[in-house]
Amino acid sequence: MTLSEIVGAEHIVPELKASDRWAAIDELVDKLVSSGAVDASHCDSIIDAVKKREKSMSTGIGFGIGIPHAATDSINSVVGALGRSRVGIDFEALDNQPVNLVVLFLVPQGQFQKHLNTLANIAKLLHNREFRESIENAPDAEAIQRIIGKPAE
């Protein structure tokens, strides 16, 4: 799955309020709930699954990117949310730098290959400096959605 396939404009938070990775996860899961992508009754179990994964090793992969993710039986298809922080979030990233772009995604339990492929596709896309900068400079969620929806060059 690609970023544009799992993150719609209604799943984008152009100004994250979070100052740490735990609050960022809460904020992005809340966005998935408020947009109807995730049932509110599953919110706590989803947050627990993502935070459990995050506690095993930070998904702050460097270059200002965080990709918290988890497999859960609370969903039927891959879903994601993207948040942007202009001030940066302490994500305990591998390069010890603050994170400006957070992509949270969820995969149905038992779809390990889809989980790995989705993670690899998102990481590869976000490692492109020009792509990251275009998202960081976009004025709003709709503009971010247009950027992530463009075919890769």
For 45-78, b/e burial (b = at least 16 CB within 10 A) is: ebbebbbeebeeeebbbebbbbbbbbbbebbeeb
Structure-block tokens of residue 113: 């290959």
Contact 104, 28 (CB under 8 A): yes
Q: Is 115 a catalytic residue?
A: no
Structure-block tokens of residue 136: 């960081």
C-alpha distance from residue 148 to each of 51, 57, 130 (Å): 26, 27, 12
Task: Report the C-alpha gap between 31 and 43 in whole angstroms.
Answer: 10
Task: Report the C-alpha gap between 11 and 56 in whole angstroms.
Answer: 26
Considering the candidates 11, 42, 69, 115, report the single residue annotated as catalytic: 69
Active-site residue set = 69
